[in-house]
């Protein structure tokens, strides 16, 4: 209910939203702030950093980037990081599983096997992370503060050190890569990856302006020609976008992986993609797997084109500096 009111104010009464946000942050500054706690008797001699994320509506790359930000903080403190997506609502945890399962562990291992989440909450010296999301989860801030400042290596190293896929998830990722991209790349063909966002953030105040399909096609043609790319992999929340590129470039040129898409977003009376539901068992988990698979494939392309959204930033980090070229679409933010 609270976040629905937030979206209403942000869209309809922006001045009131700004005032309310400032007041809310001021009131909750102490509650949300980082805290040093003695929670129990375990892990004496160790400094434990518990990564807490209270945002309920992030996509998987938003959580991924927030975790990277917290891992950076943990390293700066010489602390052992442990991720808690168990005790706070999030996009990938079913309501009845809050406090029972850790959504991070659906897809990734904990950063270390040294300390479990349960043990972390029984530690002699624990640092409870700030509940405000780190700047890394904001695509524009990450672009300006990290990518433009050539500071990506720090985050590449964090990923290598701390972010490992669960075996069954890695199997799915590699299977999709072997079926969709590997045969193309093995023949020395090149693939342009595009992030094409077309639903919940369009015209959303404060979010980065998204290119139209016509603008995207223009960039795609230029980049495919310049970097000799024979194929286009599309990471999109919209089947409409995929069909548009197929019509203009041909079915054989366009590659997509299987995933639910969100063309019905505007008809569902929801504010963000995380509120969408699909009639299938384990829907939240499956949406995470499909999103992660899309990002994994996007990170394996030769060239990247995208706007300042989480998918673009996440793919850049996952790619580990291997892209031949990255083209960022940036025309400011929606007013």
pLDDT score of 265: 46
pLDDT score of 197: 78
Tokens of residue 285, six digits: 């988990």
Cα gap 306→308, rounded to integer Å: 7
Q: Rounded to the nearest 5°, which phi and psi values hold at 237?
A: -90, 10
| Predicted confidence pLDDT, tens digits, the chain (335 residues) | 555 666 565 666 776 766 666 676 666 656 778 999 999 999 999 999 999 988 887 899 999 999 999 999 999 999 999 999 999 999 999 999 999 999 999 999 999 999 999 999 999 999 999 998 999 999 999 999 999 999 999 999 999 999 999 999 999 999 999 999 999 999 999 999 999 976 545 555 666 889 999 999 999 999 999 999 999 999 998 889 999 999 999 999 999 999 877 555 454 454 555 565 767 788 899 999 999 999 999 999 999 999 999 999 999 999 999 999 999 999 988 77
Q: Can you list the domains of the chain with their CATH numbers?
A: 33-137 (no CATH), 166-329 (3.40.50.11350)
| Helix 283-299 and helix 310-319, axial crossing angle in degrees, nearest 10 | 60
Strand partners, 324: none
Cα gap 29→33, rounded to integer Å: 6
Contact 210, 197 (CB under 8 A): yes
Contact 168, 298 (CB under 8 A): no
177 to 180, 218, 239, 279, 311: CA distances (angstroms): 5, 27, 21, 27, 18
pLDDT score of 269: 56
Cα gap 231→32, rounded to integer Å: 46
Cα gap 287→282, rounded to integer Å: 9
Tokens of residue 218, six digits: 């223009």
Q: Tens of pLDDT along 82-95?
A: 999 999 999 999 99
Tokens of residue 6, six digits: 């937030």
Q: Report if pTM > 0.85.
A: yes
Cα gap 202→231, rounded to integer Å: 27
pLDDT score of 208: 82
Q: Give, rounded to a whole angstrom, the gap between the first and last alpha carbons of the chain.
A: 25
* 3-class state of residue 169 by DSSP: helix
């Amino acid at each position: 209910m609270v976040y629905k009111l937030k979206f209403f104010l942000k869209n309809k009464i922006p001045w009131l939203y700004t005032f309310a946000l400032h007041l809310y942050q001021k009131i909750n500054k102490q509650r949300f702030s980082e805290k040093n706690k003695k929670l129990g008797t375990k892990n004496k001699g160790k400094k434990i950093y518990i990564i807490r994320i209270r945002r309920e509506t992030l996509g998987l790359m938003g959580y991924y980037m927030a975790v990277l930000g917290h891992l950076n903080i943990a390293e700066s403190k010489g602390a052992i990081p442990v991720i808690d997506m168990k005790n706070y609502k999030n996009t990938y945890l079913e309501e009845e599983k809050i406090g029972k399962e850790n959504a991070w562990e659906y897809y990734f291992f904990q950063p270390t096997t040294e300390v479990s989440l349960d043990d972390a909450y029984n530690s002699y010296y624990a640092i409870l992370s700030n509940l405000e999301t780190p700047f890394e989860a904001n695509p524009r801030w990450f672009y300006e503060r990290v990518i433009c400042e050539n500071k990506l290596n720090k985050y590449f190293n964090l990923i290598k050190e701390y972010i490992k896929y669960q075996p069954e998830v890695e199997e799915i990722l590699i299977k999709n890569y072997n079926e969709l991209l590997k045969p193309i790349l093995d023949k020395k063909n090149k693939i342009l990856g595009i992030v094409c966002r077309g639903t919940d953030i369009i015209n959303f105040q404060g979010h980065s302006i998204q290119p139209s399909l016509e603008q995207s096609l223009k960039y795609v043609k230029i980049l495919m020609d310049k970097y000799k790319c024979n194929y286009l992999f599309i990471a999109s929340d919209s089947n409409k976008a995929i069909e548009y590129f197929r019509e203009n470039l041909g079915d054989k040129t366009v590659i997509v992986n299987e995933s639910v898409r969100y063309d019905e977003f505007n008809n569902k009376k929801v504010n963000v993609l995380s509120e969408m539901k699909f009639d299938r068992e384990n829907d939240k988990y499956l949406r995470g797997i499909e999103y992660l698979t899309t990002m994994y494939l996007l990170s394996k392309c030769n060239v990247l084109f995208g706007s300042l959204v989480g998918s673009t930033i996440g793919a850049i980090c996952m790619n580990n500096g291997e892209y031949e070229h990255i083209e960022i679409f940036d025309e400011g933010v929606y007013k």
